[in-house]
Amino acid sequence: MFGKDNNKEGSMHKRESHRGETQKASIYTAGNNSKRNKFFIITLVVILVVVWGGVIYDLGPNFSTSGNDSSKAVQIAKENEKMREKIDNLQTRNRELKDEITALEEKLKDANLPDEDELFVFNDLVKVRDIDPTILVDLCYATKNNFTEQKLYSFELCLLRKSTAEKLAAVQAEVKEDGYRLKIWDAYRPLGVQEKLWEVVSDPIYVADPAVGSNHNRGAAVDVTLVDEKGEELIMPTGFDDFSERASRNYSDLPQEAEKNMNYLTESMVSNGFTPIQSEWWHFNDADIQDYDLLEVSFEEFVEKYFTKN
């Protein structure tokens, strides 16, 4: 009996001992897990701090966790205010320009300008661009860019006899088919200007004696060249009012392209009712020049009649 009881007690003692060891092991394991969790959390925090610090460093001056943000916000607000002021000023100027344009339009309505469909003719003179607005005009005597270095024309007003202007328009239509356009250097020239030219160059080869008069004074002569589609002048023997032998049609040592262009212009002008002269490749007379008398019409008089004809 006692042997059996002793055995039972021994067995129970072993189970109790085993249970105690198991509980200790569990407590030990839990303790270890708690330490690992704490270590993991601490490590994670360190990593986050390092990463966050790197982000702040990368952002540099564009990022701040200090009170500088408020000063930057104030600066941005000031810049926005300046921009709004500029916009307001531009809008105000825009309204002023609109008012100015409206005022100019009203003035134009009261200016009594010629109707587009009505051709103004005064003493048989017309504005060339009223006949053909595609003809280019660059009157050298309306600027200081001429051999006298004086502005001789009070207006850049390109006038010709009506029939002469119509012939020139026919030339323009012809050369446009080949991609060219006419450019006028001089047309009708008042007698007063002829006298000033004669004072500078008293050589009838180049400047007509005002006592006799020039065909320019008749409104039936034109100094002209050609331009391409871009408005660039074609290569010609010389420029305008070149008083050298190279300007002569008889000059034999011209570059091939210059000679070709001069001949092309001459053929077009002649086929539409003009005649050339030998001393100046750019000068052409109306073939009916004998039908026209000298004119004594100033630019000022033409302009006055042009705007007050009614």
CATH number (domain holding residue 291): 3.30.1380.10
Q: pLDDT tens-digit profile of 215-231?
A: 999 999 999 999 999 99
User: Token pair of 140, please?
Assistant: 């050298």
Residue 48: the pLDDT is 57
Residue 135: the pLDDT is 97
Residue 36: the pLDDT is 52
Element spanning 181, H or E: strand 181-186
Listed range (21-25, 227-231, 274-278) with the worst mean pLDDT: 21-25
* Total structural domains within the chain: 2
- pLDDT at position 188 over 80: yes
Q: pLDDT band at 292, cuts 50/70/90?
A: very high
* CA distances (Å), origin 269, targets 53, 152, 168, 223: 85, 27, 8, 11
Residue with tokens 């860019």: 145
Q: What is the pTM of this model?
A: 0.61
The CA-CA-CA angle for residues 276, 282, 283, to 5°, reads 50
In this structure, are 152 and 282 located in the same domain?
yes
**Residue 172 belongs to a domain:** yes
C-alpha torsion 239→242→247→253, nearest 10? -80
* Active site members: 280
- Examine the fold and report which residue of 21, 39, 62 is the final residue of a domain before the chain moves on: 62
The CA-CA-CA angle for residues 138, 170, 224, to 5°, reads 30
- pLDDT at position 303 over 70: yes
**Residue 187 belongs to a domain:** yes
- pLDDT at position 189 over 60: yes
**Residue 104 belongs to a domain:** no
Our measurement of the distance from residue 157's CA atom to the centroid of its chain's CA atoms, rounded to an integer in Å, reads: 26
Q: For residues 243 and 280, what is the distance between their CA atoms, to the nearest angstrom?
A: 8
By three-state DSSP, how is residue 303 classified? helix
- pLDDT at position 50 over 50: no
Q: Is 240 exposed, middle or buried (0-12, 13-18, 19+ CB in 10 A)?
A: buried
Structural domain boundaries enclosing 20 = 2-62
CB atoms closer than 10 angstroms to residue 96:
10
Contact predicate 298/190, CB 8 Å: yes
- pLDDT at position 302 over 50: yes
- pLDDT at position 68 over 70: no
**Residue 219 belongs to a domain:** yes
Contact predicate 120/309, CB 8 Å: yes
In this structure, are 146 and 231 located in the same domain?
yes
By three-state DSSP, how is residue 136 classified? strand
Q: For residues 306 and 189, what is the distance between their CA atoms, to the nearest angstrom?
A: 17
* CA distances (Å), origin 294, targets 77, 198, 284, 291, 301: 74, 17, 17, 10, 16
Average pLDDT for 248-266: 96
In this structure, are 182 and 255 located in the same domain?
yes
- Order of strands, edge to edge, in the sheet holding 274-276? 136-137, 181-186, 221-227, 283-286, 274-276
